[in-house]
Amino acid sequence: MNRILALIKMDLSITFGLSAIRHKIRNRNDMIQMIILGIALLSLIPAYLMMVSGLSRIYYAYLNIGQKSMFLLTGILACQVIILFLGILYVMSKYYFSNDLNILVPLPLKPKEIIGAKFISLLIYEYITTLPLLLPFIIIYGVNENANILYWIYSIIILVFLPVIPLSISSIIVMLFMKYTNIRGKKDLLRTIGYIALIIVMIAFQLKMQNLAQRAIDNEDFLYKIITDSTILVRSLGIVFPPSMWAALSLSNLTSISGFLYILLFVIASIAVFYIMLFLSDRVFFQGLIGNLEVSTSGRKARVKSSDFQRQSPSCIAIAMKEVRVLLRTPVYLMNSIGGVVLMPVLMVISFFIEGEESLSMIKMLLETNQRIVNLIGVGFIVVLGFLNSVCCTTFSREGKNMWIQRVLPVSTKDQIIGRILSSMFVQVIGIMVLYGSMAYIRVLTLEGALIIAVLGLLGSIPVGELGMIIDAYRPLLNWDNPQKAMKQNLNVIICMGIGGLYVFGAGFLIYKLMDTVDLLVIYGIAAAIFIVSSLILYKPLEKIIEMRFNSLE
């Protein structure tokens, strides 16, 4: 027990940077960044209050149809599903790619002790991120129902155990996945393909379950059931994730023994799934980890040709290839860059497939009559992916403590910029291909549209990528203990999304105003001119900031 507590204390200190807080307070630059972050968080308060106000209206909407317990399910289910899917990224990064594994693995520690400590750190992180989302649901329901002390006790129990089941399931999925894809020489390729396929299958399963629940709702006698049963919606939609249903029903049935039984079932299921996860970790964790900590060599004698030393690539291409390999080999980077680009169009197709031919026909009819709108939306979609994929806005942060290597390389700043932009273009091309497939499935893709989307989409991705690089070169996040922090917990990503969103909105608003007065071909030309001029304007400050950053490295 003492070893586990020591591991938890150490992991919490690393995860939340507790040991570095005192240093940051004394450091003027770090203190300024903390103040800016605090101001940014305070600026979100009005939007948060608006969200809470909107939730109050949703509560009354459910109350008016006699299904107020559905309000609780909405909040609980949303939080648990978010934890389940995002937890896969967090778990993979924390369990398999954190820097402390090289120290922990050789120690006389059991896998379940290492996993247990890391799980607690993730659990606390989930409390911090999910409490602001779930608390409004619980408070609004409790205040409007004049809930007694038992309601608040049950609520605290639910808040404590809420992340346990989805995070444990994510841990089990990741550990089994890492074990069975740890094949010598092929593990990177298998994990790249398998991880994307895993996410698609899980989301498709959730959509299918929701579709089945919706069909149950559309039943002819469903209106009668709503009137006679105040929990029919919860039980119909709770099939998507039963633990959420148990938690919601425990709070809505406080006055009966069923409420106690539901909360008991929720707690027992949480503890049981947690122990199953620890049991499996003792048997599969190290088997999936070995491939990440060791470098295996082939039994065959290596063959080195003289031509291998003569082949040369342009510096910008070498930088681009290095960036692409890092993205492909690190699952956290993969899912935050290529994974998101692939998933968005694929999920759109899956939703149409599940909804049926009727929904597809309506969308097709609407889009066929507005082909030019379809092309411009496609261009906008690709440009938006340019800052959502986080490739450029974390390009220097991903270097971490090895950033100094970029300074000593015989590579010019121009080649650094071009190479990193090209790596972003690689991701964008994948997004374009997937978008083509989705549009072809909906039958709204034309040859002209494909050409316009590719050309303008890639042109528009360049200035957005340069904006991201300016932000990341100015304030790179170089001190991280696992790759998750470089992309998912990097404030540069949020800043880039905000500035990139303003850029896309401004360009889109101008094009929208010109649509009724200017020919379509002229609009395409104006869009291309905006993207090209923006790229040229942003290049010079980007070059100066990168040179300044490299010169400041020790």
The confidence band for 304, taking pLDDT boundaries of 50, 70 and 90, is: very low
The CA-based angle 389-336-454, given to 5 degrees, is 30
The confidence band for 31, taking pLDDT boundaries of 50, 70 and 90, is: low
pLDDT for 541 equals 92
The distance in angstroms from the start CA to the end CA of the chain is 42
pLDDT for 293 equals 52
pLDDT for 352 equals 59
Residue among 118, 168, 160 nearest 272 (CA): 168
> Nearest 10 degrees: CA dihedral of 447, 452, 457, 458?
90
Contact 443, 516 (CB under 8 A): no
The SS3 call for residue 105 is coil
How far is residue 104's CA from residue 292's CA, in Å, rounded to a whole number?
14
Tokens representing 369 are 């009559």
pLDDT for 327 equals 84
Contact 158, 247 (CB under 8 A): yes
The confidence band for 96, taking pLDDT boundaries of 50, 70 and 90, is: confident
Residue among 8, 178, 20 nearest 93 (CA): 178
More confident residue, 223 or 51: 51
What is the average pLDDT value for the chain, to the nearest integer?
Answer: 78
Of the listed ranges 5-19, 373-387, 498-512, the one predicted with least confidence: 5-19
Tokens 């190479």 correspond to what residue? 419
**DSSP assigned state of 301:** P
Q: Is the pLDDT of residue 479 over 70?
A: yes
pLDDT for 211 equals 59
Domain regions of the chain by residue span? 44-293, 315-552
Q: Is the pLDDT of residue 362 over 60?
A: no
From residue 55, alpha-carbon distances to 163, 408, 500 in Å are 22, 54, 29
pLDDT for 466 equals 93
pLDDT for 265 equals 93
pLDDT for 444 equals 76
Q: Global pTM?
A: 0.63
Contact 189, 299 (CB under 8 A): no
Of the listed ranges 291-300, 378-387, 421-430, 467-476, the one predicted with least confidence: 291-300
- pLDDT tens-digit map of 136-175: 999 998 888 888 899 999 999 999 999 999 999 989 988 8
- pLDDT tens-digit map of 111-132: 888 888 889 888 888 888 888 8
Residue among 158, 87, 88 nearest 123 (CA): 87
